[in-house]
Amino acid sequence: MTDAMTIEYQARDALTAYEELTALAEDIEDEWTYVTDLSAAWQERIEELIAQRGAEPVGPPEQAAISRAIDEIGRITDPHRAIDWLSTFPQVVLLALGSRS
């Protein structure tokens, strides 16, 4: 099994993309506290999953789902839309990795 086929690898890829999404959302100054608090909470939840189940395997369908979600948020250029995805994206990732969010 390669590292790419583990929960930890997939979750870390998702976290990297999520940090970029968060940075875009932080452009809305009036929402900065909300954005940073929300982002921190979801990042913590994903880190908990890594700590609990990081070595578990992830199949090709789950890898594809996470890759598609990362691709989708990578297309976002509007900070307001980024804020909308700050809750959606981590839930998609957690669902794909078999975690209850």
pLDDT in tens, 15-52: 999 999 999 999 999 999 999 999 999 999 999 999 99
Q: How many CB atoms lie within 10 A of CB 18?
A: 23
21: CB partners within 8 A, 6+ apart: 73, 76, 82, 85, 86, 89
Which DSSP state fits 30? G
- The pTM score is 0.92
pLDDT score, position 101: 54
Q: Which burial class, exposed, middle or buried, applies to 67 when counting CB atoms under 10 A from its CB (0-12, 13-18, 19+)?
A: middle
Residue ranges per structural domain of the chain: 3-96
